[in-house]
Amino acid sequence: MKKTIALLVATLAFTVCLFSSFTPEKVALAPKKVMRRGVVTVTKNFTTSNGLAAVATLQYTTGQVYNSITVTIQGEGNVPLTSVSHSSGPIYADTFEGYKAGSYYEYFVDVLVTGNQTIGWQIADASAEAVVI
């Protein structure tokens, strides 16, 4: 009986020592991206064909469709934009055109907006062609 108890205690001690050396692998936590609701402003700086600085600005509320897009040319002011095409699908593509008569040039502006309510909106392309008046 003493021999059986000694053997049982030795087996138990060996088992505890053996399994205590194993530790579970640490689980790597992936960073969680949290989008807070709020107004997002997206800007794209570009240069007109005659070298003036210009900026296209887009505003939207997280999870919604954008509601304002503007183009401003340095020294000339804001350019009124008109929606000319809309492409649906998983990612929308909207094209806007604008015209502005400046002091010495006429500006023909093209802006491409892409995205959707889930991933957000971006100004994919913006350009302004200047023609001498």
Sequence spans of domains, the chain: 39-132
Rounded average pLDDT over 23-44: 70
What percent of the chain has pLDDT above 90? 67
> Does pLDDT of 23 surpass 70?
no
The neighbour count for residue 73, using CB atoms within 10 Å, is: 24
**DSSP readout, the chain?**
-HHHHHHHHHHHHHHHHHHHT--PPPPPPPPPP-PPPSEEEEEEEEE-TTS-EEEEEEEEETTS---EEEEEETTTEEE-EEEEEEE-SSSEEEEEEEEEE-SSEEEEEEEEEEEETTTEEEEEEEEEEEEE-
Q: pTM of this prediction? A: 0.71
Distances (CA, A) of 115 to 14, 37, 80: 62, 17, 22
> Does pLDDT of 31 surpass 90?
no
